[in-house]
Structure 1
């Protein structure tokens, strides 16, 4: 599929790969972002697009000389990590429950943190810059250290998967934990105060922005890069632990070499060149898909996920979707579905089957096959995965 071009008067166009006609609120949100004077060329909406805060989740926003902290969001650097192991799925026979229990014992989930800080974490070079972060987080260094190597809650997860050749993959989804959240909130608050003081008439207060060249922009960009690095390393620390657990069960503890490794953000901003110009690209629930970039597009906890390679589509600012995208809010999912529905929809997956994860029921998400069909011009599929173990945050 290719995109649909949506034009609003007095606004840059919106190119939409969405697998549904935008609703009233979604259209309003897209129009609000497109109306900002510093938006470059057009706004690109991915197939899994849905309502967010200020900007749609699943939107790619290129900007000149400005950045919107609420468009990046509060889970700075949230993303995915996956490795293809040399193990065949037959080796998992009879071991799934024990693997899940070991993962849950080794990797803290929800609000939990590690009791001890491992050497890999304490040796991270960027702790030296902690004192340069926003003053509002200076009391969080110990917590940030303890949370590095922890999953968090919501839709964050750890999965053992099998591909079509019955090869074992390890996959996880997490971000910058409490420290990223706090940094984002500090800067979003500053942006809103500045907009108020300047008497800016924004279509939505969450679209308050920082202008390049200002001290506020510099401080946000510095903290953003730090939190994005934290998120990437957080995934690496968890993946190393996860890999050791699987090796214990499948290789007698002998270390193995991954056949492929992918680690990609899907809530972040970077400086990139598009249409011959240097711009700031914010991907709010979108993955970079430049030519030959590897990416990960997960479905829900009962469906397929995809390892993909980018096709470098210029009109999407070389981006693709970051997942299936929700069709039901968390509260609505809990009201519509029962525990029996969850058990039925996660049949064959070794996972928790309790009311605590009912909001993550597969039916709360869009059909991943349809989402993939809508972006055949953005990515090619390298591997199709199906989970056999799922640990939810």
Structure 2
């Protein structure tokens, strides 16, 4: 069995007595455990003989890298000086979130940063934090729910369409949306994404493919939702072929499900091993994009983002089919992602942990809470915000505080006053737990312009 291969066996093959032996044994244990010892040794010998041809191999690429140009592992110290940054809505952001950004700005790879008005503390980067780095990607700067996104589909149906249809619309949400760890659709859908080479070439992704297939078209727990509402378009784009007015719309918020969570966990572990940091910032460990693991994470992250998009497409298609109506236009955007963008004349990796891309002309959606309005926006390309805006209203109270501070009676009254009906939705997602979205929007007038306002009417969340 491959598991019986020892370090002495690798030394006999001619491997240098350094970390490549540990890498080789780890890869054997992880991916070749069931192979006969002789077959495992033959593969290891082939990598040793010609490592360059294995550089991008899913299993042996990391070992080949160790033989050609080993990744330097050394304790990283924070710099004394912060990289340049901007804060929008400083008055409504808690101090802990600010200090999390300040620490991130002292990373040796940091180039610039920004904090959005919905910001609150998180792991690694604060939620609402934006960080540009040089040739480095921080898995926890992206977040656990990779490619979490907003998606809004507008129907050419007037606001009056929903009158008297409460039961029908609530039933569509109940029957055609799935939430949490265990709910999946009875009738599964295929997607071209599952035939991508990443699912075949990267062992971690290969092991997650079946789970991703089962969870396609489903939403996570927490603050994820699917809702019917009314969008008041004040400045519709000509290509939408819609005049200003009020229309029925579906708005969804969710991410890459178990696929993204497992990618985040795996590559955060690798980043922490390769990039030791002081304890208070260990979640900010990064992967060099010029390394095997850095390149692999980048591919996996982008696949997870595309998977999140496919999930939303599936949700909206199911709802449109149940309605028997055609979607006129869909507007969508990622958050919890990293992009290659130009910052101060150099290509950087821009992490948006709970922040909306808001480059000039880029469309996005900034939701409120289950009772507060959401905003359809167009980015103004503000350099100081690193072309970003908030991804929502942001939490005013933590989940634990919300559960202890608010009652079901108070939440029910808030929903009734707003004319909103909810399936599911726990106390930690109470509308009172969130900042005032209108105040948050007032702090980012220089970041985005509003094209429309969405008012939720029928909401589905995890029960």
Greater Cα radius of gyration, structure 1 or 2: 2
| CA deviation string 1:214-263 (max 9, x = no partner) | 11111111111111111111111111112222xx3xxxx2x4241x3211
- In structure 2, do the counterparts of structure 1 residues 189 and 386 end up closer, same or farther at CA, with 3 Å as the change threshold? same
Q: What are the residue-to-residue correspondences of 1:219-368 with 2, within 5 Å?
A: 219-245=296-322, 248=323, 253=324, 255-258=325-328, 260-347=329-416, 348-352=419-423, 357-368=426-437
2:23 alignment partner in structure 1 = none
Match of 2:124 among 54, 70, 84: 54
1:3 alignment partner in structure 2 = none
Matched, 1:147 2:225: no
Matched, 1:39 2:110: yes
Deviation at 1:127, TM superposition (A): 4.4
**Is contact 2:94-2:120 (8 Å) kept?**
no
3-state secondary structure, aligned to 1:20: helix
CA distance in 2, matches of 1:23, 1:80: 25
3-state secondary structure, aligned to 1:278: strand
Deviation at 1:13, TM superposition (A): 3.0
1:217 alignment partner in structure 2 = 294
1:185 alignment partner in structure 2 = 265
3-state secondary structure, aligned to 1:81: strand
Deviation at 1:9, TM superposition (A): 5.3
Matched, 1:89 2:159: yes
CA distance in 1, matches of 2:402, 2:196: 40
Q: Which has the higher contact order (CA 8 A, sep 6+)?
A: 1
Matched, 1:80 2:150: yes
Deviation at 1:55, TM superposition (A): 1.0
Q: What are the residue-to-residue correspondences of 1:3-152 with 2, within 5 Å?
A: 10-20=81-91, 22-40=93-111, 42-111=112-181, 112-118=183-189, 121-124=190-193, 126-135=195-204, 137-152=205-220
Deviation at 1:190, TM superposition (A): 0.8
2:282 alignment partner in structure 1 = 205
**Is contact 2:110-2:131 (8 Å) kept?**
yes
3-state secondary structure, aligned to 1:166: strand
Deviation at 1:19, TM superposition (A): 4.6
CA distance in 2, matches of 1:96, 1:278: 50
Deviation at 1:126, TM superposition (A): 4.3
- In structure 2, do the counterparts of structure 1 residues 330 and 21 end up closer, same or farther at CA, with 3 Å as the change threshold? closer
Gaps of 5+ in 1: 1-7
Q: Tell me which stretches of 4 or more aligned residues in structure 1 moved more than 6 Å.
A: none
- In structure 2, do the counterparts of structure 1 residues 313 and 369 end up closer, same or farther at CA, with 3 Å as the change threshold? same
**Is contact 1:308-1:383 (8 Å) kept?**
yes
Deviation at 1:83, TM superposition (A): 1.6
**Is contact 2:133-2:350 (8 Å) kept?**
yes
TM-score (norm 1): 0.89
CA distance in 1, matches of 2:115, 2:125: 10
**Is contact 1:266-1:285 (8 Å) kept?**
yes
- In structure 2, do the counterparts of structure 1 residues 167 and 364 end up closer, same or farther at CA, with 3 Å as the change threshold? same
**Is contact 2:153-2:331 (8 Å) kept?**
yes
TM-score (norm 2): 0.76
Deviation at 1:21, TM superposition (A): 5.8
2:48 alignment partner in structure 1 = none
| CA deviation string 1:338-392 (max 9, x = no partner) | 110110111111213x6x5111111100000001000000000000111111111
Q: More strand by proportion, 1 or 2?
A: 1
Aligned residue pair count: 369
**Is contact 1:268-1:283 (8 Å) kept?**
yes
CA distance in 1, matches of 2:435, 2:187: 39
**Is contact 1:76-1:267 (8 Å) kept?**
yes
CA distance in 2, matches of 1:319, 1:378: 7
Q: More helix by proportion, 1 or 2?
A: 2
CA distance in 2, matches of 1:280, 1:36: 14
**Is contact 1:64-1:279 (8 Å) kept?**
yes
